[in-house]
Structure 1
Amino acid sequence: MSVKVGIIMGSKSDLNIMNDAADILKGFGVEFEMTVVSAHRTPERMFTYAKEAAGRGLKVIIAGAGGAAHLPGMVASITVLPVIGVPVKSSNSIDGWDSILSILQMPNGIPVATVALNAAKNAGLLAVQILSTADASLAEKMQNYKDDLRKAVEASAATL
C-alpha cells in the first residue's frame, strides 16, 4: 500500500502510548513512519517535518504530545494534511487536562481531530478510516474490524 501515516511525538517518553497507533496501522497493513519532533525543543525540525510531509507521500499525521501539547496544533498550522492529536498524560502533566485542552481548543481555521487521553489506538483507527475513504480494500478491512467488535459484544452479552 502506498499511503503513509506519520506518527510523531514530542519526546521519546511518549513512545509507549504512541506505539498503540503503530500497532493498529500494522494490523491494517498501512505504511507509516515514526519519529520524535518537539514543538518547543526542535521547532525547525517540526516546521520542516510538517512542510515536507505531503511531498513525502504522507496522507495523515498522528501527533502525540503531553504537557503544553503544542505539537499537533503547530503541525496542523503548517500542513494541509489532516492531523490527529493524541493528548498524552506526561510526568509534568496536570492529570492530562493541560494536554487535552491544548490540543482540543484550537482556533477556527486550524482543526485538529482530538482523541481521548492516551488513546493512540483510536488515533490509528481514525487514520485508517480517513485513508479508507479513497481505498476500497482498506474500507473493507475497517468494516471487518467493526464487525469483529460487534461480534465480540454479542458473544459477551450471550454469556450473561
Structure 2
Amino acid sequence: MKPIVSIIMGSTSDLPVMEKAAAFLNDMQVPFEMNALSAHRTPAEVEKFAKEAAGRGLKVIIAGAGMAAALPGVIAANTTLPVIGIPIKGSVLDGVDALYSILQMPPGIPVATVAINGAMNAAILAVQMLALSDEALAQKFAAYKEGLKNKIVKANQDLKEVKYEYKVD
C-alpha cells in the first residue's frame, strides 16, 4: 500500500495537532505518511520532498507549521499537488502569525488554509478532494457527514429533556 496523502509538520512538537488529521485519514482508510520537515532547518529536504511527491503517487499534501509558517508555501512552490496548510498555534501570537503566513501566498502558489490547529478539517478537505475520483471513499465520506447530522439531531432531542423552571418546550 502506497500513501496518497502526506502529512508534513515543521517539528514533532506539532504532532498533538497533526495527529487529528492522521486519525481522520485512518478512520476513512486513506493511506498516508507522516514526516517532520522544516522549511528553515531542512530546506533542501523540503524541496526534494515536494518535487518528488507526485511521482511517488501522492495526491494531496497536508502541511502544518507555526510561527513564520513557510513550510506549506515552500511545498506548494515546488509541486503541482494541492497543499492544505494548517497554521499551528505558537507561544507568542497564538497562531495568528502562522495563519497570515500561510494565507498570504502570491498568485500562482495557492495553499488551501484551514483554521489555527485545524488539522481535522485539513484531513476532511483532503478526503473531499480524493473522493472526487474515488466512489468508495465518496460513500464513506457521505456516511461520515450523515453521522454528523445524526449527532446534532440527537443532541437537540437530548436538550428537550433538560428542565429549567422557566424553559419553555
TM-score past 0.5 threshold: yes
Q: Distance in 2 between matches of 1:15 and 1:159?
A: 35
SS of 1:159's equivalent in the other structure is helix
Q: Distance in 1 between matches of 2:33 and 2:90?
A: 22
2:48 is matched with which residue?
48
1:73 is matched with which residue?
73
Computed over aligned residues only, the root mean square deviation of the Cα atoms, in angstroms, reads: 1.1
Query: How high is the TM-score relative to the length of structure 2?
Result: 0.91
Q: Distance in 1 between matches of 2:111 and 2:121?
A: 14
1:26 is matched with which residue?
26
Query: How high is the TM-score relative to the length of structure 1?
Result: 0.96
- Amino acid across the alignment from 1:141: K
- Shift in Å, 1:90: 2.3
2:121 is matched with which residue?
122
Spell out, residue by residue over 1:23-72, the C-alpha distance to the aligned partner (whole angstroms, 9 max, x if none).
00000000001001100000000000000001111000000000000000
2:163 is matched with which residue?
none
1:61 is matched with which residue?
61
Q: Distance in 1 between matches of 2:21 and 2:36?
A: 14
- Percent identical among aligned pairs is 57
- Amino acid across the alignment from 2:16: N
- Shift in Å, 1:2: 5.6
Are residues 1:157 and 2:156 paired?
A: yes
- Amino acid across the alignment from 1:82: P
Q: Distance in 2 between matches of 1:108 and 1:154?
A: 42
Aligned length: 159
2:111 is matched with which residue?
112
* Structure 1 residues 2 and 10: alpha-carbon distance in aligned structure 2, compared to 1, 3 A threshold: closer
SS of 1:85's equivalent in the other structure is strand
Unaligned runs of 5+ in 2: 160-169
- Amino acid across the alignment from 1:127: A
Stretches (4+) displaced over 3 A:
none
Unaligned runs of 5+ in 1: none
- Amino acid across the alignment from 1:16: P
SS of 2:59's equivalent in the other structure is strand
SS of 1:58's equivalent in the other structure is coil
CA radius of gyration, larger in: 2
Q: Distance in 2 between matches of 1:58 and 1:90?
A: 29
